Amino acid sequence: MKIAYFDCQFGAAGDMLVGALLAAGLPAEPWLNELRKIALPQGSFAVSISPTNRCTIACTKVFVDCRHEHAERHLSEIVEIIDSSEINPGAKELSKRIFGRLADAESKVHGIPTEAVHFHEVGALDAIVDIIGFAIGYQILGIETSHASALPLGSGVVKTEHGLLPVPGPAVLNLLATAGVPTCQSEIDYECLTPTGAAILTSVVTAWGKFPSMTSIYSTGYGAGHKDPPGWPNAVRVTLGESLATTTAIPSSPRFASEQIAIVEANLDDSPPQTIAYAVERIFEAGALDVTVTPVLMKKGRSGHLLTLLCKPDEQTKFQELLMLETSTLGARTYNASRLLANRQWRTVALEHGQTVRIKIALDENGALINAQPEFADCAEYATKYGVPLKQVLAEAIAKFQNS
């Protein structure tokens, strides 16, 4: 499982988190190409990526230049922008989740319904690009789970549309309280944790505190903030690696090999049979390990289907996207599992008329035979060609194999 650890000892903001992903290996051009698909007026913003230093540490700085600003938006307006964008479905879902958290926090702060919340600073173009840009980068990198350090809050006051407010701001405090985030003291005398940064982190992080155990580290990157104080690096560090928990969870067996797999599934209640059959073909062609379709009873007593596929863990996002593109589902869930598997081999046997059919056999690690099954397509072809009942062909094939 690909894991990210966000080290935010000196704070976090949306642009800092995006910069850290870019510094850790997020390819800039594919990311910028996806940003251009955001449903905003052409030329309304431009993004620059530049190398910089914070306390002599090489960092990446991201700056969003807004040309046509409309700073106040409702959640519904932002959701419409996201839904109208031609970006990765997973990035859309994560973007909406982040903005949904922000809306919930603001509604509690101001005592109004979520749909009545006006986003000011976080409704501005730069915040929209930061959040959607982070979600796009998170999906491109294939990060499956994230951990983060305790978060510093800073001190002083911050100027907002509502006037001067103490740091941390009310929305930030609400986000941290709702997610149960640990905080830490620091000497930072400004707002080092922004609402955008807090909303992003509380939407993707599943565990807070120390650096998690990893079997290997892929890369590390630093994303720089605007300020450059002399006493500390104003940057977020992200480390990408392989989760130790996933690797050690694989069961061990002296008789069978084991491996980690991903299970991807979706409920379908309005897809015609032809569409499902075509989707199954496409999924197999894309390299899935197995695909099944199970009849299920869904809400309101409607008949439906559960489409389930097995794949390699690093391919689960690809198959989630394929499910959403080829079926009517609006979401595809995934979870990890492990399996034991036998060694598989092919043998051939010659039947009465001299034609051969294949036998699929399964062996354990010691070479002991576990199972043998004639290949159905070969036996069906033989039965049709020679006018023999299929069950007779299957029985003859097994007998020939057992006597070989």
Question: pLDDT tens digits for 261-297?
Answer: 889 999 998 889 999 999 999 999 999 999 999 999 8
Question: H-type helices in 1-54, by residue range?
Answer: 14-23, 28-35
Instruction: Give, in order, the Cα–Cα distances in Å from 111 to each of 62, 104, 105, 114, 115.
Output: 34, 10, 10, 9, 12
Segment 346-368 mean pLDDT: 90
Cα separation, 286 vs 92, whole angstroms: 23
Distance CA 204, CA 313 (A): 18
Is a pLDDT exceeding 70 seen at residue 361? yes
- Give the pLDDT score at 252: 60
Residue with tokens 């690696």: 241
- The owner of tokens 């989760």 is 243
- What is the chain's mean pLDDT, rounded? 88
Closest CA to 262 of 189, 316, 195, 322: 316
Over residues 337-356, the mean pLDDT reads: 88
Q: What residues contact residue 355 under an 8 Å CB cut-off, 6+ apart? A: 382, 385
pLDDT band at residue 169 under the 50/70/90 scheme: confident
The answer to whether the CB of 13 falls within 8 A of the CB of 196 is yes
What's the pLDDT score for residue 247?
A: 44
Query: β-strand 145-148 against 2-7: which pairing, if any?
Result: parallel
Q: Options 3.30.70.260, 3.10.20.300, 1.20.120.420, 3.40.50.11860; which CATH number does 343-402 get?
A: 3.10.20.300
* pTM for this entry: 0.61
Mean pLDDT, residues 349-376: 91
Is the Cβ–Cβ distance between 35 and 91 less than 8 Å?
no
Is 80 exceeded by the pLDDT of residue 253? no
- pLDDT of residue 53 exceeding 50: yes
pLDDT at 235 over 60: yes
Strands 290-297 and 303-311: antiparallel
d(CA 40, CA 35): 10
Per-residue pLDDT for 59 more than 90? yes
211 close to 29: Cβ distance less than 8 angstroms: no
**Considering only CA atoms, which of 306, 368, 311, 302 is closest in space to residue 335?**
311
Whether a cis peptide bond, with omega within 30° of 0, leads into 27 is no
Which tokens is 90 given?
């997973």
pLDDT in tens, 71-105: 678 888 899 999 999 998 889 999 999 998 888 88
Q: Is the pLDDT of residue 123 over 70?
A: no
From 296, 306, 17, select the one nearest 143 (Cα to Cα): 17
Low-confidence winner among 161-165, 339-343, 394-398 (lowest mean pLDDT): 161-165
Residue 188, CA atoms < 13 Å, CB-side half-sphere: 25
**242-250 average pLDDT score:** 57
Average pLDDT of span 196-206: 93
d(CA 106, CA 101): 9
Contact in structure between 330 and 268 (CB atoms under 8 Å):
no
Please state which of the ranges 1-15, 63-77, 108-122, 182-196 shows the lowest mean pLDDT: 108-122
Domain boundaries, the chain: 2-247, 257-341, 343-402
Of 330 and 258, more confident: 330
Q: How far apart are CA 16 and CA 120, in angstroms?
A: 20
- Is the pLDDT at 30 greater than 50, yes or no? yes
How confident is the model over 291-336, as pLDDT tens digits?
999 999 888 788 899 999 999 887 888 899 899 999 999 888 888 8
* Phi–psi pair at 67, nearest 5 degrees: -100, -35
CB-neighbour burial class of residue 64 (10 A; exposed 0-12, middle 13-18, buried 19+): buried
Per-residue confidence band for 124, with pLDDT thresholds at 50, 70 and 90: confident
pLDDT band at 248 (very low <50, low <70, confident <90, very high): very low
Choices 3.30.230.10, 3.30.70.1380, 3.90.850.10, 2.60.130.10: CATH for 257-341: 3.30.70.1380
Mention every residue, 6+ apart, whose C-beta is less than 8 A from residue 2: 141, 142, 143, 144, 145, 218, 240, 241, 242, 243, 314
